[in-house]
């Protein structure tokens, strides 16, 4: 059934807008009343809304306010990327990373050639955030063992990071410098390491207004220069420091505040060049453990005149896409979604770029009856302010996901559950929505969104999306109001 022809009856409300009613003419549902009250709330005057609520079984639009309006969705966009990844790549797909060499190993154990670390998009490689994934030290130890087993005692060439499987800029140009310089705005390459982030600890200053002292980063990033403009705020002020910079920029500015105190306080930044850092970390590890490396670490630039056959030493596999999607949605990890987007483009169009990934997403869902031609997609994570999706598009997407037996169960399990897990772990506890709302959350400055599923007391399954831009109240106030709306969806 074409989603443009959902059964719908419009009911005029006193607020001067239209909401959708049931086809049998019964009194307004609690959900409709709650939407009416929310968008008519004078404390939210000037806010921009796009709200849609759909009965999954009957394909009936139960409530809608400007559902076709295109707004900035923030991280609700992740449901589009992650669901497409499950369809295009498959739940069991694993990213691989290869350690190989060219040249030959001579009788004395010297590799007369280079060692290559080639990535195929794994965003979890060397992560210290992902349970069960080997961290950097364990990862490098495994590579060291592979060289030992091959009899390599010295490398006459160097370690080269190969990220040529993907193309295009690591971070979209639409991401502001303040985002791109921080861990949540880390660029993505075909070869990633340590979630492409570094830890930046400060020695806290004792008094407000004083300047805290920078301590060495973890891991060490060769060539990184940080201009520390951070000052100290109240002891309970939290992390309000930002690192400004973009991929390949090694001179960065750190601005904002951290709490005054007597210990250390750590923030996280994005690495300038993940493939180079991976090669440097491996080079340093090998040298420290007795394998000489004659040349400095570098990154691979294709050159047909110098391309030689490579001999594999080790292949590493990532967690499955199903597992990566689970963490991407539960923890709202931008890096994972950007890697999935590029992998989608590579699989669907044989081009590992954002433009190819976005083209693939629109094509995949067009084949399934969802028109995204008017949507504006600039990334796979929702970090770009210029992204535009409507509540109706997202709610319809979620209904289609839930009707697809190949991904429905996997996808639902990837979402946060109200009062229980993920980004909703502390939300809606003790309300009707606890355990009945599963959703992806989205939050940026003056942007809030929730897109997911609601279960009513009678067991009715609903798909919904709520997007609000430019709200005039505080973030905790809008969160409380939207949580009340989601609770109404569960009646």
Sign of the dihedral defined by the CA atoms of residues 272, 276, 282, 288, in that order:
negative
Q: Are strands 461-469 and 48-55 parallel, antiparallel or unpaired?
A: antiparallel
φ/ψ of 257, rounded to 5, equals -135, 155
Q: Tell me if the bond preceding 139 is cis, omega within 30° of 0.
A: no
Cβ contact 172:379 at 8 Å: yes
Which tens digits make up the pLDDT trace of 315-348?
Answer: 999 999 999 999 999 999 999 999 999 999 999 9
What span, in angstroms and rounded, lies between the C-alpha atoms of 156 and 292?
A: 8
Structure tokens at 67: 């559902």
pLDDT at 305: 78
Using the predicted structure, report yes or no on whether residue 82 has a pLDDT greater than 60. yes
Tokens of 171: 């971070």
User: Is residue 307 very low, low, confident or very high in pLDDT (cuts 50, 70, 90)?
Assistant: confident
Confidence of residue 443 (pLDDT cuts 50, 70, 90): very high
Q: With a cut of 70, say whether residue 12 has pLDDT above it.
A: no
Name the pTM for this structure: 0.93
Is the pLDDT confidence value at 177 over 70? yes
Is it the case that residue 147 has pLDDT exceeding 50? yes
Averaged pLDDT for residues 371-383: 99
Ranges of each domain in the chain: 3-90+321-489, 94-319
CATH code, residues 94-319: 3.50.80.20
Q: Is the pLDDT of residue 287 over 70?
A: yes
216-267 residue pLDDT tens: 999 999 999 999 999 999 999 999 999 999 999 999 999 999 999 999 999 9
Q: Mean pLDDT across the stretch 174-196?
A: 98
Q: Which residues contact 417 (CB under 8 A, 6 or more apart)?
A: 424, 435, 437, 438
Q: How confident is the model at residue 29 (pLDDT cuts 50, 70, 90)?
A: low
- The neighbouring-strand residues paired with 389 are 71
Fold of 3-90+321-489: Beta-lactamase (3.40.710)
Pairing state of beta strands 104-105 and 110-112?
A: antiparallel
């Amino acid at each position: 059934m074409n989603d443009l022809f959902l059964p719908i009856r419009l009911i005029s409300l006193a607020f001067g807008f239209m909401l959708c009613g049931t086809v049998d003419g019964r009194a307004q549902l609690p959900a409709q009343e709650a939407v009416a009250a929310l968008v008519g709330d004078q404390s939210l005057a000037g806010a921009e809304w796009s709200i849609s609520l759909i009965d999954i079984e009957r394909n009936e639009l139960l409530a809608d306010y400007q559902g076709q309006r295109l707004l900035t969705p923030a991280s609700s966009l992740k449901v589009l990327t992650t669901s497409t990844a499950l369809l295009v790549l498959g739940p069991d797909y694993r990213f691989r990373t290869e350690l190989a060499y060219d040249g030959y190993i001579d009788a004395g154990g010297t590799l007369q050639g280079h060692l290559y670390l080639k990535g195929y998009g794994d965003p979890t490689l060397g992560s210290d955030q992902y349970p069960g994934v080997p961290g950097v030290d364990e990862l490098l130890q495994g590579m060291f063992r592979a060289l030992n087993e091959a009899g390599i005692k010295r490398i006459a060439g160097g370690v080269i990071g190969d990220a040529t499987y993907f193309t295009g800029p690591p971070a979209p140009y639409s991401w502001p410098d303040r985002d791109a310089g921080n861990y949540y705005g880390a660029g993505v390459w075909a070869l990633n390491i340590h979630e492409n982030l570094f830890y930046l600890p400060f020695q806290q200053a004792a008094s407000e207004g004083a300047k805290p002292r920078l301590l060495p980063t973890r891991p060490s990033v060769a060539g990184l220069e940080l201009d520390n403009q951070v000052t100290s705020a109240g002891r309970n002020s939290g992390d309000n420091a930002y690192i400004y910079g973009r991929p390949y920029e090694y001179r960065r500015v750190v601005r904002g505040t951290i709490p005054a105190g007597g210990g250390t306080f750590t923030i996280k930044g994005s690495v300038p060049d993940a493939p180079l850092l991976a090669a440097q970390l491996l080079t340093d590890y090998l040298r420290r453990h007795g394998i000489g490396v004659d040349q400095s670490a570098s990154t691979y630039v294709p050159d047909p005149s110098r391309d030689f056959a490579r001999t594999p030493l080790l292949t590493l596999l990532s967690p499955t896409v199903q597992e990566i999607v689970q963490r991407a949605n539960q923890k709202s990890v931008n890096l994972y979604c950007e890697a999935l987007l590029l992998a989608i483009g590579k699989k669907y169009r044989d081009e590992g770029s954002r433009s190819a990934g976005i083209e693939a997403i629109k094509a995949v869902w067009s084949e399934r009856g969802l028109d995204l031609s008017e949507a504006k997609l600039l990334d796979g994570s929702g970090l770009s302010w210029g992204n535009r999706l409507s509540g109706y598009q997202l709610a319809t997407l979620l209904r289609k996901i839930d009707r697809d037996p190949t991904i429905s169960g996997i996808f639902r399990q990837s979402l946060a559950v109200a009062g229980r897990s993920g980004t909703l772990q502390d939300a809606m506890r003790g309300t009707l929505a606890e355990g009945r709302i599963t959703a992806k959350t989205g939050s940026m400055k003056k942007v809030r969104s929730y897109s997911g599923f609601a279960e009513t007391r009678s067991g009715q399954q609903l798909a919904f999306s709520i997007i609000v831009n430019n709200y005039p109240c505080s973030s905790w106030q809008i969160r409380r109001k939207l949580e009340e709306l989601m609770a109404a969806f569960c009646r």
